[in-house]
Amino acid sequence: MEKKKAKLSLEKKHNLTGWAFLLPASILIFVFCFYPMSQAILLSFRKTGGVFNGAANYARILKDKTFQQCLFNTFFYFVIQVPIMLVLALMLAQLLNNPKIKGKGIFRTLIFLPCATSLVSYSMIFKSLFAPDGVVNRVLMAIGLSSVDWFQSTWPARWVIVIALIWRWTGYNMVFYLAGLQNIDYSVYEASYIDGATPFQQFMKITIPLLKPTILMTAIMSTSGTLQLFDESMNLTAGGPGKSTMTLAHYIYNISFVETPKFNYAAALSVCILVMVAVLSAIQMKVGDKRD
């Protein structure tokens, strides 16, 4: 009897300790994120001046052609860029996890560099690389293709953004995979090699399953990051030509701070993004987050 009680209280104690551990972080998020978030949601149901407006701001979204354009652009980046980037990052991480490769530190640092590079220089460099007489066009012409007016035409400009995103964030995601791979004993790979597994098989059968929690995490991160993409649209293409590369977050910024301010409508658009990211993340978690 005595013993049982002690055990129960121990479990309870552990449970309480668990809550105590996550309390500081949770309080911070509630105060500095959920409270302002609730303000934003309230804002989205009012009009300028604070009068309750029902769902009028949300109804407006349906009629907003610019929103539709930006939504399309954002989803294009998401669908193309996230898978390519994550697979590339995984491949590089696997290569760099091989103990036989020399100079890994340098390779890792160089591949990580793009995301450490400040936005100003990164956008300047990309703009000069893809300029009409820039390096990219010169290479294209050298191999017999015709040059492309990258920033002046709709689809090439969108591809520049995709390329820039992959370039900038692959190394970043690689870092998490590298860290995750340390928890996998390399002898697993050696054993599978002796069994005759090809690198591709190793990748599919060992790397991906064992890194699943990390992959899930980076996928959710990239989803959320891409749907809120702002920097590239703002600094690289300024949304142009026209609005053909503008992202949702860029549009929200514009209607808040550049054009006639419509903070209530901007809040409604933000809530829209929140819902989309939440749905996509929920799907990813359903697929990937099983405790086995």
Residues 76-105 that bind other proteins (CB under 8 A): 91-92, 95-98, 100-101, 104-105
- Exposure string of 172-200, with b = 16+ CB inside 10 Å and e = fewer, is bbbbbbbebbeeeeeeebeebeeeebeee
Q: How far is the CB of 278 from other proteins (least distance, A)?
A: 6
Q: Is 288 in the site for other proteins (CB under 8 A)?
A: no
Q: Is 146 in the site for other proteins (CB under 8 A)?
A: no
- Give 76 or 230: the residue with its C-beta nearer to other proteins: 230
- 28, 82, 214, 22 alpha-carbon torsion, rounded to 10°: 10
- Give 80 or 274: the residue with its C-beta nearer to other proteins: 274
Instruction: Spell out, one character per residue from 1 to 30, where the chain touches other proteins: x when CB under 8 A holds, - when not.
Output: -------------xx-xxxxxxxxxxxxx-
Residue from 9, 12, 34, 138 binding other proteins (CB under 8 A): 34
Angstrom distance (rounded) from CA 180 to CA 172? 13
What residue type is assigned to position 157 of the chain? A
Instruction: Give the count of residues interacting with other proteins (CB under 8 A).
Output: 120
Stretch that binds other proteins, among 1-9, 74-82, 110-118, 136-144 (CB under 8 A): 110-118
Residue from 61, 80, 84, 125 binding other proteins (CB under 8 A): 125
Angstrom distance (rounded) from CA 157 to CA 124? 15
Q: Whole-angstrom distance between the N-terminal and C-terminal Cα of the chain? A: 34
Q: How far is the CB of 276 from other proteins (least distance, A)?
A: 8
Three-class SS state of 46: strand
Residue from 71, 148, 164, 178 binding other proteins (CB under 8 A): 178
Q: How far is the CB of 165 from other proteins (least distance, A)?
A: 14
State the DSSP code for 52. B
Q: How far is the CB of 17 from other proteins (least distance, A)?
A: 4
The backbone torsions φ and ψ at residue 183, rounded to the nearest 5 degrees and listed phi first, read -85, 0
Residue from 68, 72, 242, 290 binding other proteins (CB under 8 A): 242
Of 253-282, binders to other proteins (CB under 8 A) are 253-263, 266-267, 270-271, 273-274, 277-278, 281
Q: How far is the CB of 101 from other proteins (least distance, A)?
A: 6
Angstrom distance (rounded) from CA 78 to CA 273? 13
| Angle between the N-to-C axes of helices 154-181 and 65-96, in degrees from 0 to 180, rounded to the nearest 10 | 40
The backbone torsions φ and ψ at residue 133, rounded to the nearest 5 degrees and listed phi first, read -110, 25
